[in-house]
């Protein structure tokens, strides 16, 4: 503690607090803490139980290594991965194609209420269930295989992409739209020239994110029989074939990482008009000062 | 040449019921030269101009132009009338992510269907004219740049080119210089006067800068509180009138 200085000439009574206590928030945090403690007690989360689990996990991990995908396994791995990838591509394309009109119809600043509410209802229903639940429904309806998987992921894509797309449209700058309307353009032309250019890059972002997401989901829906690597993975688990499980997991990780690189590449190409070479240079061959300069330059330019 | 006179009769606009912003405007604006509308902020100048091309829906009254009542047009008739009315905006209102060329060509959207527009199938004549207009506003070298890379003055030049691309019979300008520095403001007014003058397009301009207005207009309309309180040539606009339009007098000296 340092010495307190001489009292200032006009000591100010602390009547005005810069950050007044927000009681509702404080009470909320306290309630949340109480709930967590209670829930932990309910669920039998104890140290002994955890230690027993760790022991089991060590044995399991030991059986996973080294990963093995020799002989027949290699082929079934390839077939499964190929099917997952195909499900992803087809479902993402279809889902995005359907999300465009649905998202447009759900935008309150462009459409009358009688169009908006059915579109929003459709989106809400699509979002209600997890992809795996939808996949189970599709498997029951159309049978085992990739078609069920594609259907499930299309529904999931519609729910996610159209909702975000509608929100992006609701946030556009109305002045640009007004200017296009003032030229006497038809409604569709206004959408094409006044609305879409403003949301295109965000839409592309949603679409590539959904591609990533579908890639992950496509590796899982196979567990319920909707095609893809998930089926292979589940079968391997059932056979206690843990080294093959490990090989499959590594393959999935590789695929997801590849998908991420691919989607950031697509975004860069379309939204920043970068050439392929420029993209590589920026991503891998740039020093920190260069990056800062560019950010500053962009701010100046705007 | 078609008749380019605008007759406004009893124009009323209420954004909130019972609170009129325009309280019965009667104006006849002859189809030539530049007419300036001056007045304090919030007095309905923008609303008046936006009622003409129906970016704002009038509550009551008539706006007669080329044998039509602009105040009551609907659907395709309204769009066909709009394409003959060019507009220049205070904040330029360019579509930021489109190129300069695409922005200028949007002036032709009223003359083509959405499918042609989507495929960028503008006629060769339109494209040639767009290049000419860009040269005329001094931006010939910027055709392929994105609009958001331009400065304010450059953006407004594109805005003027876009409006003229419509082949308008009248040009509306809503505070076209309010976001610009003094020098650029004069240049923009000069450009508008020159290009519209060459084409015999009458211009109605909302403007805050009284001196700038006097310099370019042949007629000034002073509005205050939703009514017209002065109407005449710039030379007859006295300090007394300005006091009446803007209120008070301290700011005059």
Assigned CATH topology for domain B6-252: Rossmann fold (3.40.50)
ipTM of the prediction: 0.91
Whether residue B91 and residue A198 make contact (CB cut-off 8 A), yes or no, is no
- Find the closest chain A residue to B74 by CA distance: A184
- Considering only the beta carbons, identify the residue of A176, A184, A301 that sits closest to B95: A176
B2 band by pLDDT with thresholds 50, 70 and 90? low
> B159 contacts in A (CB within 8 Å)?
179
Distance CA A103, CA B149 (A): 29
Whether residue B84 and residue A200 make contact (CB cut-off 8 A), yes or no, is no
Q: Which of residues 172-201 of A touch B (CB under 8 A)?
A: 173, 175-176, 178-186, 188-194, 197-198, 200-201
- Considering only the beta carbons, identify the residue of B87, B91, B109 that sits closest to A185: B109
Q: What is the pLDDT of residue A1?
A: 45
Q: Where are the domains of chain A?
A: 72-276
Contacts of B40 (CB under 8 A, 6+ apart): B224, B245, B246, B247
Count Cα neighbours of B25 within 13 Å in the Cβ-side half-sphere.
37
Whether the CA torsion B188, B222, B179, B22 is positive or negative: it is negative
Task: Please name the residue that has the structure tokens 């860009």.
Answer: B134
Q: Which of residues 214-243 of B touch A (CB under 8 A)?
A: none
Task: Express each pLDDT in B24-77 by its tens digit.
Answer: 999 999 888 899 999 988 888 999 999 999 999 999 999 999 989 999 998 899
Q: What is the pLDDT of residue B247?
A: 81
Read off φ and ψ for residue B121, nearest 5 degrees. Answer: -90, 70
Whether the CA torsion A76, A81, A87, A89 is positive or negative: it is negative
- Find the closest chain A residue to B49 by CA distance: A182
- Considering only the beta carbons, identify the residue of A175, A183, A197 that sits closest to B98: A197
Q: What is the pLDDT of residue B159?
A: 94
From residue B14, give the alpha-carbon distance in Å to each of B174, B202, B228: 19, 27, 17
Distance CA B241, CA B225 (A): 14
Distance CA A223, CA A136 (A): 10
Give percent above pLDDT 70 in chain B.
Answer: 98
Task: Express each pLDDT in B77-136 by its tens digit.
Answer: 999 999 999 999 999 999 998 999 999 999 999 999 888 988 888 999 999 999 999 999
Whether residue A193 and residue B97 make contact (CB cut-off 8 A), yes or no, is no
Angle between helical axes of A242-271 and A47-64 (0-180°, round to 10): 90
Q: Cα–chain-centroid distance for residue A244?
A: 28
- What are the beta bridge partners of residue B88? B173
Q: How far is A249 from chain B (nearest CA, A)?
A: 42
A50 band by pLDDT with thresholds 50, 70 and 90? confident
- Strand order in B227-232's β-sheet? B85-88, B170-174, B203-206, B34-38, B219-224, B227-232
Q: Considering the entire predicted model, what is its pTM?
A: 0.77
- Considering only the beta carbons, identify the residue of B80, B95, B113 that sits closest to A184: B80
Looking at domain A72-276, its CATH architecture is Orthogonal Bundle (1.10)
């Amino acid at each position: 503690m340092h010495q307190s200085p001489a009292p200032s000439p006009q000591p100010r009574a602390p009547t005005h607090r810069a950050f007044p206590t927000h009681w509702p928030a404080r009470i909320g945090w306290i309630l949340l803490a109480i709930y967590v403690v209670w829930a932990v007690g309910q669920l039998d989360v104890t140290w002994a139980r955890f230690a027993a689990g760790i022991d089991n996990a060590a044995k399991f991990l030991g059986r996973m290594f080294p990963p093995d995908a020799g002989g027949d396994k290699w082929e079934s791995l390839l077939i499964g991965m190929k099917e997952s990838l195909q499900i992803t591509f087809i479902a993402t394309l279809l889902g995005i194609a359907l999300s465009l009109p649905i998202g447009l119809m759900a935008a309150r600043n462009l459409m009358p209420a009688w169009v908006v509410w059915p579109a929003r209802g459709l989106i809400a229903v699509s979002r209600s269930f997890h992809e795996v639940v939808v996949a189970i429904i599709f498997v029951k309806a159309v049978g085992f295989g990739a078609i069920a998987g594609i259907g499930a992921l299309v529904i999931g894509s519609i729910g996610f992409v159209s909702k975000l797309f509608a929100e992006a449209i609701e946030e556009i700058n109305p002045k640009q739209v007004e200017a296009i309307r003032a030229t006497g353009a038809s409604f569709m032309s206004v959408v094409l020239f006044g609305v879409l250019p403003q949301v295109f890059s965000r839409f592309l972002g949603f679409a590539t994110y959904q591609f990533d997401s579908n890639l992950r989901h496509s590796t899982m829906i196979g567990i319920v029989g909707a095609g893809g690597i998930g089926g292979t993975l589940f079968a391997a688990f059932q056979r206690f074939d843990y080294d093959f499980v490990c090989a499959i997991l590594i393959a999935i990780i590789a695929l997801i990482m590849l998908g991420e690189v691919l989607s950031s590449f697509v975004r860069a190409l379309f939204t920043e008009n970068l050439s392929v070479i420029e993209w590589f240079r920026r991503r891998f061959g740039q020093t920190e000062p260069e990056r800062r300069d560019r950010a500053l330059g962009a701010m100046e330019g705007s | 040449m078609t008749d380019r006179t605008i007759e406004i009769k009893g124009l009323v606009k209420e954004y909130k019921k019972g609170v009129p912003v325009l309280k019965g405007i009667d104006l006849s604006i002859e189809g030539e030269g530049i007419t300036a509308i001056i007045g304090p902020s919030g007095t309905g100048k923008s609303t008046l101009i936006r009622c003409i091309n129906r970016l704002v829906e009038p509550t009551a009254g008539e706006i007669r132009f080329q044998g039509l009542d602009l105040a009551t047009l609907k659907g395709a008739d309204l769009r066909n009338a709009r394409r003959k009315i060019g507009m220049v905006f205070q904040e330029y209102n360019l579509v930021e992510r489109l190129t300069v060329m695409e922005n200028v060509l949007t002036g032709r959207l009223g003359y083509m269907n959405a499918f042609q527009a989507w495929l960028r199938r503008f006629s060769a004549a339109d494209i040639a004219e767009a290049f000419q207009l860009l040269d005329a506003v001094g931006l010939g070298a910027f055709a392929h740049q994105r609009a958001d890379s331009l400065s304010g003055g450059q953006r407004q030049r594109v805005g003027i080119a876009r409006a003229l691309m419509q082949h308008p019979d009248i040009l509306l300008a809503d505070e076209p210089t309010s976001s610009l520095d003094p020098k650029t403001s004069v240049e923009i007014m000069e450009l508008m006067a020159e290009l519209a003058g060459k084409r015999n397009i009458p211009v109605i301009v909302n403007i805050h800068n009284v001196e700038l207005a006097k310099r370019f207009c042949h007629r000034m309309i002073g509005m205050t509180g939703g009514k017209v309180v002065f109407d005449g040539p710039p030379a007859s606009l006295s300090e007394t009138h300005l006091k009446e339009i803007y209120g008070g007098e301290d700011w005059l000296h």
